[in-house]
A and B are shown apart, each in its own frame.
Chain A
Amino acid sequence: MIGIIDYGMGNLRSVQKAIEYLGGSAVISSEQAVLNGCTRLILPGVGSFRMGMQNLSRLGMDEYVRARVCDTPLFGICLGMQFLLEESEEEGVSPGLAMVPGRCVRFAAGKVPHMGWNDVHALRSPLFAGIPEGTQFYFVHSYYADTDAAHTIAQTEYGCRFASAVQAGNAYGVQFHPEKSGDAGLQLLRNFMRL
């Protein structure tokens, strides 16, 4: 069972439907008793960083996720990936879960949000097994993760070259939406289910 962490923001059902489409099962919850039974955790996300982190911490999910990630694969999607970093400058600087070094910063050039399909390069993780270099995924975001090379497992170009996927131990995150990225996105979710 995969646990999709519910913190009151975003469309969580599309992630659940994609997992079910792949033959897995997923539960949407913010209750530790329910999530304790899950062998994989997904932190989805749409919305603002500050409000999202506030919701997570109000539910005790920040501490919970930090404890679980020691022995459980965690997958952050979009805003959920940004939470993995130390902080974000969205709506004034606010702290994240600090599993991955660096901060989320706003795109300085181009139309914002960065919306649409873009190439994902320099893939280096089992998360991208069977996915060719330069495959396109669907992005919608205004801030990006500014982290170091060691924690970057994929890169994308939009005015600058940014980390479109990150990893630190069991914590994985992608800036794009695999649940909205067609077959490539489904393959990536399948890979996470097998980690």
Chain B
Amino acid sequence: MLKKRLIPCLDLQDGRVVKCVKFVDMRDAGDPVEAAKLYNSIGADEIVFLDIAASYRGQETMKEVIARASEQVFIPLTVGGGIRTVEDFRTILSCGADKIGVNSAAVKNPTLITDAAMKFGRQCVVVAVDAKRNSAGRYDVYINGGRVKTDLDAIDWIVQAEQLGAGEILLTSIDRDGTQEGYELSLTRQAAEAVNIPVIASGGAGSKEHFYDVLTAGKADAALAASLFHYGMIKMNELKEYLNGRGVPVRMV
């Protein structure tokens, strides 16, 4: 049976982890490759590197980080942040990334999704969507790191992204991100029911129950978290034991 995936996200700035990973056995807590290796060893199903500054300098250092990571970490690597063109896709994939996340650039230029899917296969095109609930109870798409509201309805945009060639959706609830109050289940469920590609839930994880909820009632195919894993508040292996015990299929290492 296909497993539900648990994905730690490493936020990077100038090639360093921003929210430092607090593991006792790490030589360099700010080194994303050391962090990725550690996550690999404790059973992470994939790793996401997110360049939060998305600057030119960031992309240069990101390339070096991916190249080093792909020599030592043999699970899927997704890279996001500041990818704007098909050429950016080619560059980052050739460094050793398996999937590329696009957010604002895909909203501004939706054909990027199609062009990248045609060139490199839709399996490597992850459309990241930042969504915020509005007064009507629907969800608006925000870009530029959640700072700029668009006219797009999140569910409509996700459906369109699938039609354009997206292989996966990384869906973040702006309302829940950083709150540790739980994933936005209705958002994730609506998205997962609207498309036939995997949906990764992001934003709000604070407890093991939250993962259970989003992977069952929320219908997500995968759950992403950052600080929760980095600060060791929830241990990957214990989380997997817990989910497995409650009947959620997860990969046991």
Chain A: residues with CB nearer than 8 A to chain B?
Answer: 10-11, 13-14, 17-18, 20-21, 46-48, 110-119, 136, 138, 140, 157-158, 179-183, 185-186
Q: Verify B71–A17 contact, CB threshold 8 A.
A: yes
A11 touches B98 (CB 8 A): yes
Please name the residue on chain B nearest to A11 by beta carbon: B93
Q: Number of B interface residues, CB 8 Å?
A: 31
Query: By the criterion CB–CB under 8 Å, are B1 and A119 in contact?
Result: yes
Which A residues lie within 8 Å of B120 (CB)? Answer: 46
Q: Which one of A18, A136, A138 lies within 8 Å of B76 (CB-CB)?
A: A138
14 pairs from A and B in contact (CB 8 Å cutoff) = A11-B96, A14-B74, A46-B121, A46-B123, A47-B121, A114-B2, A115-B221, A117-B3, A140-B123, A179-B74, A180-B76, A181-B74, A182-B75, A182-B253
Chain A residue nearest to B253 (CB atoms) is A182
Q: A136-B251, A138-B75 are in contact. Are A14 and B96 (CB under 8 A)?
A: yes
- Interfacial chain B residues near A116, Cβ < 8 Å: 2-3, 5, 45, 198, 221-222
Is B61 located at the chain interface by the 8 A CB criterion? no
Which listed residue, B70, B96, B198, touches A115 by the CB 8 Å rule? B198
Cβ proximity bits B181-206 to A, threshold 8 Å, 1 near / 0 not: 00000000000000011100000000
The CA of A186 and the CA of B70, in the complex, are separated in Å by: 13
B94 contacts the other chain (Cβ, under 8 Å)?
A: yes
CA distance A58 to B18 in the complex (A): 47
The main secondary structure of chain B at its interface with chain A is loop
Interface set, chain B 46-92, CB cutoff 8 A to A: 70-72, 74-76
CA distance A165 to B186 in the complex (A): 39
* C-alpha spacing A186/B72, complex, angstroms: 11
Known: A17-B71, A140-B123, A181-B74. A118 touches B197 (CB 8 A): no
Least CB distance from B158 to A in Å reads 14
User: When the two chains form their complex, are residues A180 and B98 in contact, meaning their CB atoms are under 8 A apart?
Assistant: yes
Q: Complex Cα distance A47/B122, Å?
A: 9
Contacts of A118 in B (CB 8 A): 1-3
| Residues of chain A within 8 A of B74, CB atoms compared | 14, 18, 21, 179-183, 185-186
With a CB–CB cut-off of 8 A, which chain A residues contact B167? 113, 115
Beta-carbon contacts under 8 Å, B103-126 to A? 120-124
Residues of B near A114 (CB, < 8 A) are: 2
Query: In the bound complex, do residue B70 and residue A13 qualify as a contact, i.e. CB atoms below 8 Å apart?
Result: yes
Bound CA–CA A116/B197 (angstroms): 12
Q: CB-CB < 8 A to B98: which residues of A?
A: 11, 14, 180
A11 to B93, CA, bound (A): 7
CA distance A109 to B121 in the complex (A): 21
Please state if B1 and A21 are interface contacts (CB–CB under 8 Å). Answer: no
- Complex: A10 Cα to B124 Cα, angstroms: 10
List the 7 closest A-B pairs by CB distance, nearest first. A117-B251, A117-B3, A136-B251, A140-B123, A118-B2, A17-B71, A180-B76
Residue of B nearest to A17 (CB): B71
B40 at the interface (CB under 8 A from A): yes
**A14–B70 contact, CB under 8 A?**
yes
Q: Which of A112, A136, A140 contacts B3 (CB 8 A)?
A: A136
Task: Decide: A117 and B123 in contact? CB cutoff 8 A.
Answer: no
Knowing that A118-B2, A136-B252, A181-B75 are A-B contacts, what are 18 other residue pairs whose CB atoms are under 8 Å apart, sorted by A's residue number? A14-B74, A21-B74, A46-B123, A111-B197, A116-B2, A116-B198, A116-B221, A117-B2, A117-B3, A117-B5, A117-B45, A117-B251, A140-B123, A158-B2, A180-B75, A180-B98, A182-B75, A182-B253
Instruction: Tell me the minimal C-beta distance from A174 to chain B in angstroms.
Output: 14
Q: Which residues on A sit within 8 Å (CB–CB) of B94?
A: 11, 13
Give Cα distance in the complex from A17 to B68, angstroms: 10
Residues of B contacting A138 in the complex (Cβ-Cβ under 8 angstroms): 75-76
| Min CB gap A183→B, angstroms | 8
Question: Using Cβ atoms and an 8 Å threshold, which residues of chain A touch B1?
Answer: 118-119, 157
The interface bits of chain B over 1-42 (1 if a CB of A lies within 8 angstroms of the residue's CB, else 0) are 111010000000000000000000000000000000000100
CB distance from A112 to the nearest CB of B (A): 6
- Cα A117 to Cα B122 in complex, Å, equals 18
